Structure 1
């Protein structure tokens, strides 16, 4: 009788079983958190609550098919919800926010797909860590502030802090709504202090269920704003509104949402991949996010990205593969069938409380303190981005973050760092004279260039080197040659090459020779391609110590000694 499966196939199935079980458990745990978050973040974006559920179903399957991270918790996220709110303000007459959200998701997906096609995943480097953290912290505070009116039963509204404060001063507070909201916050905080991680994770869902039951079965929520009757939770499959004017109006907001969604998702996925010892593929992440947003656009959803809290939860729950997202989508589909009627009785202050506690749980001032101590310029950038989110707009904050990050890079590299170096006694090692006790020979100025020579810093090279030569002349004696340790130089562009020519001329006027040591192979190949070393009669040494000692014996190396490609 023929066996049903080979021993090898049986072994593979047995090996897969624990992975499937782990992914199933992780999917269930994250779905518990995703249900209240999906409802809350849709409401935060000014959309009907069911839109959050739609965005947590088919888009997860699309990412699971094309993405690369086994623990990226995809779905609606708080930061994007705030950006969506601002992006959908001022829609043309007759266009609903639901229709606008579908167009926004489609544009985000198409922009990410185009970026993936053009291999632009390096766009993630446009936002430095200080800019990204400043944006996230500012968005966190703005999200919490935007939910306070809902929490307190006030009609105040506004997309920035000044607008919200002005509106709040003109509106009153509903005491019963405030009681529901404050009580919900208190219960959520108590669940976090109980010491049980399981209770803390289940608390938002348990609270929503209890609030729905009280509201439906008792008069305790009479007079409190509720989610209200929901339409059928059957997926509304179809194309987004095809209006050229609307697509052009939302395109700038879509570009910002796409950039922030990709950068933040990649940051979360990369940090967890490093922790798990796994390899992440940024290009695959971009394709996965593009597919997820395109699917959201045709299934009644909203723009989606990776969530830090859900991703951490997937990791801690033992997710082993992207099948966990498939299971999350399955449990979300089940929830859509079960929760359709009860959700109508959910008090909005309770939903707002889950948002406030969730977003503020990740806020900390420690990042500001640490970056201020480490690099004040980057600390100022973080504070400026946070302030822009609160006081101006999300788009302005992202622009400040990108421009500020580039400006800091240019400022840091505007002048190459050139250290004067000497020999550590008894060794062949050469170190900065300002940091170590070293020996320097009068006839040779040893310098180490600590940057690649490119257009941003090349103009200052000659001035910096001449300043170090004058320091050497004052401290040690009259030099005859300048020996540049080039090991840290990874690239020399045309501007850098021109700067080296100007340096050679400046040293000639001082009666000094220019020499190189430890030039990297790719850099040396380019210099040889144009015959630069021969044209300017620049000596080349395999090691810096050889270069220093060569003067003692009156020796100069031959370029033929280093003809092997990539030898240095």
Structure 2
């Protein structure tokens, strides 16, 4: 127990060091005062620690959400400040995630496929880095998309002194990342910020360079967000997208680390934890929060053993707020921009695009399309395209059930696809294997696919008398699938063929029995496909098959 506490304490201290500069930078990236990032890194961590399930999820402000928040807050009414909008946004994100947890909708994470998620994250990464270049170079250019950024670049000006600060900071951070001393790489952002603040405060080196400026009191501003229906309705669509992205990205991070650590993750608990963290952020002056991949990896590598680590992170962050309130005002913005650029581009790679293109071109195109939409249009449109594209690809893949004509491997009782193996087929039996569940998305194509195989069998092997379906891969048959089987039975009967099943799984067989389907349509049932092939004219009736197969597959 003592060793666990020690490990959690050390991990908490290390992550707090990284979270301080990131909290400041990501708040400014979202168009919010820097102290908002610090507020979002305190009490929300305690809320997640109480209700979440991952001991290594580094919760707090994250770069991708910061970009989404900035776009969401861009169209606020004139009388609503960005800080007030962020509180409402965090409250709506928390309520939406809480509703999803209450309704057990943790399966919502599957709405965004891995290619769509990676395409979005890569696009957001590139857009964040591009958006910070003007700050790094002392330019006033702004924009949330590349066209907007390029349109304002010509009128943004250029600050040579600011650019010098930014380029030097960028070079130092890159050198630190290449260092073999891992601790130096982790502490480099904080050491750089402290050094930059000292130079700016005590020397004229930062004259003419934009700085964070005087911060208000860092006492946590507890209170409710603005309760105006028009404001909440205005931000609700953006909140839904932020909530979806927060949950999907956080779950992806925590699940990958849980597998690596041999731990069990509870998606429902993750929903509750994220909901509570965002609701608390809305009551404590923060902004929407989610899990960060870089901080989560750091928690894992630092040896975090339990969610007490987040409690320690909160404590160290609070101490930092008390000690750094004055010096933070002198922090040069180009240095913060360099911290953001190095952080978000640290894991950038084009390998996922190459692998997706080689493995499944449609998914590779979806990944590229989502990335391009983030860069050229908006993050909201990119998320919508990612969700719709993922669903469309799923429907396209399942719209026509895969049915393989199978035969026996010589000398065995194993049956394989005759297009892939040299197999033996009996003229009187068409052996087919249905390779997926029969549901509404693919049921309409069943009859046509089976008849194509029947006609091919008749043309190449001989005149069949029955069709035997190997049903082992079928995990579920919905009402549409049942109707398709009835249509198949009628179509085969019209051609003088009987229908038979083999290796039907127990849950599927239970449903067929519940409506007396096998008896009604006089469909024979076999425990193994080999038995069905060998039965010939001596078909087992359904009642006898049920009696002979009490175990059910």
Alignment TM-score, normalising by the size of structure 1 = 0.96
- In 2, Cα distance between the equivalents of 1:558 and 1:255? 51
| CA distance in structure 2 between the aligned counterparts of 1:431 and 1:542, rounded to whole angstroms | 17
1:360 aligned onto 2:352: no
**Cα distance in 1, alignment partners of residues 135 and 539 from structure 2:** 82
Query: Following TM superposition, by how much is the alpha carbon of 1:402 offset from its aligned partner in structure 2, in angstroms?
Result: 0.5
Q: Distance between the aligned counterparts of 2:552 and 2:485, measured in 1?
A: 22
Say whether 1:398 aligns with 2:383.
yes
**Any idea what SS the aligned residue of 2:235 has?**
helix
Aligned to 1:176: 161
Secondary structure of 2:152's match?
helix
Aligned to 2:486: 501
Cα distance in 2 for residues equivalent to 1:120 and 1:492: 23
User: Are 1:301 and 2:279 an aligned pair?
Assistant: no
Aligned to 1:110: 95
Alpha-carbon distance in structure 1 between the residues aligned to 2:124 and 2:234: 23
Partners of 1:452 and 1:489 within 8 A in 2: yes
Specify whether residues 92 and 443 from structure 1 end up closer, same or farther in structure 2 by C-alpha distance, changes over 3 A only. same
Q: 2:112·2:386 contact (CA, 8 Å) conserved in 1?
A: yes
SS in 1 for 2:75: coil
Choose from 546, 549, 552 the match for 1:562.
546
Match of residue 146 from structure 2? 161
Question: Residue in 1 aligned with 2:113?
Answer: 128
Does residue 417 of structure 2 align to residue 443 of structure 1?
A: no
Aligned residues of 1:451 and 1:489 also touching (Cα < 8 A): yes
Quickly say closer, same or farther: Cα 1:524–1:543, change in 2 above 3 A. Answer: same
Structure 1: runs of 5+ lacking an equivalent:
1-15
| Partner Cα distance (2:30, 2:235) in 1 | 15
Q: Which moved more, 1:150-159 or 1:525-534?
A: 525-534
Q: Which moved more, 1:444-453 or 1:506-515?
A: 506-515
* Superposed displacement of residue 529, structure 1: 1.2
Q: Aligned residue for 2:320?
A: 335
Which of these residues, 194, 205, 215, is aligned with residue 220 of structure 1? Answer: 205
Q: What is the distance in 2 between the residues matched to 1:497 and 1:344?
A: 69
Is 1:349 aligned with 2:324?
Answer: no
Which residue of 1 is the match for residue 402 of structure 2?
417
Residues in 1 aligned to 2:439 and 2:97: alpha-carbon distance in whole angstroms = 31
Determine the C-alpha separation between the residues in 2 that align with 1:84 and 1:193: 32
Q: Which runs of 5+ in 2 are unaligned?
A: none
Aligned counterparts of 1:94 and 1:134: Cα–Cα separation in 2: 36
Note if 1:97 corresponds to 2:77.
no
Post-superposition offset of 1:558: 4.5
Q: Which residue of 2 aligns with 1:275?
A: 260
1:253 equivalent among 208, 213, 238: 238
Q: In the alignment, is the contact (CA less than 8 A) between 1:525 and 1:565 conserved in 2? A: no
- Equivalence for 1:264: 249
Distance 1:494 1:211 in 2: 67
Secondary structure of 2:216's aligned partner: coil
**2:365 is paired with a residue of what secondary structure?**
helix
SS in structure 1 at match of 2:438 = coil
Q: Offset of 1:217 from its aligned partner? A: 0.9
- SS of the residue corresponding to residue 420 of structure 1 reads strand
Tell me what 1:517 maps to.
502
Name the CA distance, whole Å, in 2 between partners of 1:425 and 1:565: 30
- Residues 90 and 565 (structure 1 numbering): CA distance in 2 closer, same or farther, change over 3 Å? farther
2-structure distance, mates of 1:140, 1:194: 23
Q: CA deviation at 1:554?
A: 3.2
Q: Residue 74 of structure 2: SS of its match in structure 1? A: coil
Q: Are positions 1:324 and 2:315 aligned together?
A: no
Q: Over residues 13-70 of structure 1, what are the superposed CA-to-partner deviations in whole Å (9 max), with x where a residue is unaligned?
A: xxx1000000001101111110000000000000000100000000000000000000
2: CA distance between counterparts of 1:386 and 1:226? 32
For the residue of structure 2 that corresponds to 1:437, the secondary structure is coil
CA contact (8 A) 1:525 1:566 kept: no
| Counterpart position of 1:285 | 270
Partner of 2:39: 54
The answer to whether the 8 Å contact 2:142/2:148 transfers is yes
For residue 65 of structure 1, the aligned residue among 35, 38, 50 is 50
Instruction: Give the count of matched residue pairs.
Output: 552
What is the alpha-carbon distance in structure 2 between the residues aligned to residue 415 and residue 566 of structure 1?
A: 32
Write out aligned runs for 1:131-150 (5 A): 131-150=116-135
Q: Determine the structure 2 residue equivalent to 1:13.
A: none
Contact 2:519 2:542 in 1 (8 A): no
Query: What SS does structure 2 have at the residue aligned with 1:89?
Result: helix
Task: State how far apart, in whole Å, the 2-side matches of 1:28 and 1:370 are.
Answer: 38
